[in-house]
Amino acid sequence: MRVLVVGYGMAGSRAVAELRARDADLKVTALGAEPDRPYNRILLSTLLAGKVDADDLAIAAAPAGADVRLGEPVLAIDRARRIVRTTREDHEYDALVLATGSAPIVPPLPGFDRPEVYAFRTLDDCRRIVHHASGARRAVVLGGGLLGVEAARGLAGRGLAVDLVHRGPHLMERQLDGDGGRVLGRTLAGLGIRAHVDAVAEEWTGTALRLADGTGIPADLLVLACGVRPETRLAAEAGLTVAHGVVVDDALRTSDPRVFAIGDCAEHRGTVYGLVAPAWDHAATVADRLTGGSTAYRGSRVVTRLKASGVDLAAMGSPDAAADAEVVSFADPARGTYARLVIAANRITGAVLLGDNPLVGTVVQLFDRNAEVPADRRSLLLGRAHGGDAAAATESPALMPDAAVVCRCNTVRKAAITAAWRAGGRSVADVIAATRATTGCGSCREAVCGLVDWLSCVDPSAEVAA
């Protein structure tokens, strides 16, 4: 069977790897519009801040036997002939996987087509912003969602004075409530980022962003982080069912049973996730289906992580509370700390943890497993272990359960890291290669390094406490 994957970013490259791992004889071809090998898009803000190089973002090379074509954009899909037409040639397929991702939203405002205005979405975007920022003193970022906060932090990390402009009532309103958004704004202010909320942009003059209230914010460049929309043009032109994204069922099939969609472009049960963990769940489901399995995708429990220098945020579930839900919260704006839990039937349905909280991993685990929370809710809000002092149970890797998920993006548990070590992986790089830990959002790298350090100090053949 010939499987053709359109799009070779984080979702598409994972689909290729999953397919080849399941069936080494399967003919898999991937078409990537970008000339770069697949890279970790989540770490672009770290590159923007100058903390890493572009090479550090690269994802593992294509698996042996896969035919990967980079810099070959797709022009059209002919479903009747089962052919995909590119700028170079036609490719036949028996099964087609769309991993076309999403495209940045550029508001149709005056001046937004000028050369000093940049979208923040791709590696090439990031390179151009870095080049311009090297001679700049001030920047404006339009959009105070997750991507905008990351972009603002990255530019501030390069020493620029940054204004973050958001039309919503507070920053990151999809993940945070008002109190959390205000604490985040105060934290950013301490990092040299001035936030403007309830602010509507009207025009970029070339030297300033003019707002609807007449305010002008001077800057040398404007970075757009106004959100993204699923890239559905190819699917729509091919006659597939498209709503907000390409509509798929529990097998990730589109309205054509030979065509699948995964990642940012896919809409499952009315939801477009736009995050890496669901995209990789999609890739595994499709690979299983195309190699004879019957896996069904039922949706993902989403955890959003933002871990930039000076900003540590975890948000999960919905920030909204039902009438019968229990809501507990704690705020210490002076220290940049905020925590809020929404609990229903003694289980976490939504949570926000901003700032340093040693029990963030515990809260994520409780949410992930839909497990009951401790009777003393304060232990989760304040970072204290139930019935004791600061999270001693999470400080020693020996006390971490083998089933604990260390890398949520790839569902890598402590047991898998231990197994990789015992199989001969004696460095962090070896463990990453064996388990894929840290290759998603990267927020687990410190935990992985800690586990490897701990394993290097104990007998590799010794039993690990579970």
User: In this structure, what CATH number is given to the domain that contains residue 462?
Assistant: 1.10.10.1100
SS3 of 246-278: the string is EEECCCCECCCCCEEECHHHEEECCECCCCHHH
- Is 354 domain-assigned? yes
Whether residue 192 sits in one domain with residue 257? no
Indicate whether 110 belongs to any domain.
Answer: no
Q: What is the DSSP letter of 242?
A: B
Last residue within a domain, chosen from 226, 244, 261? 226
241-265, pLDDT tens digit by residue? 999 999 999 999 999 999 999 999 9
Q: pLDDT digits over 18-68, tens only?
A: 999 999 999 999 999 999 999 999 889 889 999 889 988 988 789 999 999
Q: Which domain holds residue 326?
A: 318-386
- Looking at the fold, whether 139 and 198 belong to one and the same domain comes out as yes
Is 163 contained in some domain? yes
The Cα 8–Cα 31 span in angstroms is 6
- Tell me the one-letter amino acid at 120: F
CB 337 within 8 A of CB 331: yes
Burial (0-12, 13-18, 19+ Cβ within 10 Å), 463? exposed
Query: If you search the block for the tokens 């000339």, which residue do you land on?
Result: 35
Q: How far is residue 173's CA from residue 178's CA, in Å, rounded to a whole number?
A: 8
Looking at the predicted structure, is the pLDDT value of residue 466 above 60? no
State whether 197 and 272 are in the same domain. Answer: no
Q: Using an 8 Å Cβ cutoff, are 41 and 151 in contact?
A: no
Number of domains the chain is built from: 4
Domain boundary among 386, 418, 443: 386
Distance CA 86, CA 265 (A): 19
Q: Is the pLDDT of residue 385 over 50?
A: no
CATH code of the domain in which 130 resides = 3.50.50.60
Identify whether residues 282 and 356 lie together within a single domain. no
Q: pLDDT at position 151, please?
A: 95
Q: Residue 460 has what pLDDT?
A: 46
Q: Which DSSP string corresponds to 183-207?
A: HHHHHHHTTTEEEE-S--EEEE-SS
Residue 392 has pLDDT above 70, yes or no: no
Looking at 77-91, 114-128, 307-321, which range is the least confident one?
Answer: 307-321
Is residue 394 pLDDT above 60, yes or no?
no
- Give the N- to C-terminal CA distance of the chain in Å, as an integer: 43
Same domain flag for 347 and 370:
yes
Report if residue 254 sits inside a domain: yes
220 and 126 co-located in one domain: yes
Specify whether 270 is located in the same domain as 348.
Answer: no
Regarding whether 371 and 417 lie in a shared domain, the answer is no
Q: Are residues 201 and 249 in the same domain?
A: no
SS3 call for 369: helix
- Residue 457 placed within a domain: yes
Element (H, E) at 378: helix 378-381
The Cα-based distances of 426 to 143, 433, 456 in angstroms read: 43, 11, 8
For residue 148, tell me if it sits in a domain.
yes
Domain boundary among 208, 226, 244: 226
Please indicate, yes or no, whether residues 281 and 371 belong to a single structural domain of this protein: no
Share of the chain above pLDDT 70, in %: 93
Q: Where are the alpha helices (DSSP H) in 89-167?
A: 123-133, 146-157
**7 and 92 within one domain:** yes
Label the pairing between strands 337-344 and 347-354.
antiparallel
Least confident segment among 57-61, 172-176, 206-210, 256-260: 57-61
Which of the listed ranges 25-39, 356-370, 405-419 does the model predict with the highest average pLDDT?
25-39
Q: Is residue 418 one of the residues assigned to a domain?
A: yes
pLDDT of 388 over the 60 cut: no
pTM: 0.86
> Are 344 and 408 in a shared domain?
no
Examine residue 167 and state whether it is found in any structural domain, yes or no: yes
Q: Which of 452, 444, 407, 454 has the alpha carbon at shortest distance from 426? A: 452
